[in-house]
Structure 1
Amino acid sequence: MATENVTAVESSASNETSLGPDGNVVAMLAYFFAPVCGVLVYALEEQNGFARYHAAQSIVFGLLVIAAYVGLWTISFVISMLVGEVPIIGFLLSILVGIIDAVITLVVWLAAFLVWLYLVAKAYQGEAVSLPLVTAIAEKHLL
């Protein structure tokens, strides 16, 4: 997003919204239960560009986190099924794959949670944050 567009989006953070509260509050609420609340705010908010910007980011961020989880689960399931067929060693390898999967999943969820907290805090502070992949997708398809 160009610098002047970010400034324009941030300037509407404290403006009123068609939903009632200030733009920063609506933007913050868009991240809760992402992407569901993001879709609600995006669909219902017509007046405040800041809230719509964060709602679009919430939708994309939530969908990417869900896709990451499904991808990790699928990879783990396929590997476990493949190595589980090998007698004795396969059982041990499937346990190892399960442990590795649990660690990777924990790291991904922790990272996603920290990014989510950052986005919520910045939305409440009235700042338009630009995440590399998330913002590009949101701007291309939703804004």
Structure 2
Amino acid sequence: MPAETSLGLSENIAGSLTYLFGFISGFIMLLVERENHFVRYHALQSIYISIVFVSAYFLLGMIPVIGWFSSMFLAPAGLVLWIILMMNAYKGKYSKMLYISDFANKQL
């Protein structure tokens, strides 16, 4: 059975909730949860992935033709990644993202 968090939720549910609203829910869970490594890891990863996707979406969106093509790719890719990360957290797995996971682990 998964461990409990300071919110009274199981860690897999709290880990999933960190991805619910991107960096907003990640910040909230990071501030609220002080002890559970699993939840804090997913909260940091949610923040970093959200920042990368939002930055890429806006920066590429400024380029006339490339912006349109990139938004056609980034929006569905972000949705699929969001679902995968939420499901992995719910299953109790530590999702490994290139560079982002290592950076999140170093921050903890």
TM-score, length-scaled by structure 1: 0.70
Distance 2:99 2:80 in 1: 16
Find the counterpart in structure 2 of residue 23 from structure 1: 11
SS at the partner of 1:104? helix
Distance 1:35 1:102 in 2: 24
2:72 to 70, 84, 106: 106
Distance 1:73 1:23 in 2: 36
Whichever structure has more helix as a proportion of its residues is 1
- Tell me the percent identity: 32
Q: Which runs of 5+ in 1 are unaligned?
A: 1-12, 77-96
Structural mapping, 1:48-67, within 5 Å: 48-67=36-55
Q: Are residue 43 (structure 1) and residue 47 (structure 2) matched? A: no
Q: Residue 13 of structure 2 contacts residue 90 of structure 2 at CA under 8 Å; is this kept in 1? A: yes
1:67 to 1:105, Cα distance in 2 relative to 1, 3 A: same
| Alignment RMSD (CA, Å) | 1.5
Distance 1:130 1:65 in 2: 16
Superposed structure 1 runs of 4+ greater than 4 Å apart: none
Q: CA deviation at 1:102?
A: 2.2
Distance 2:102 2:55 in 1: 17
> Computing the radius of gyration over CA atoms, which structure comes out larger, 1 or 2?
1
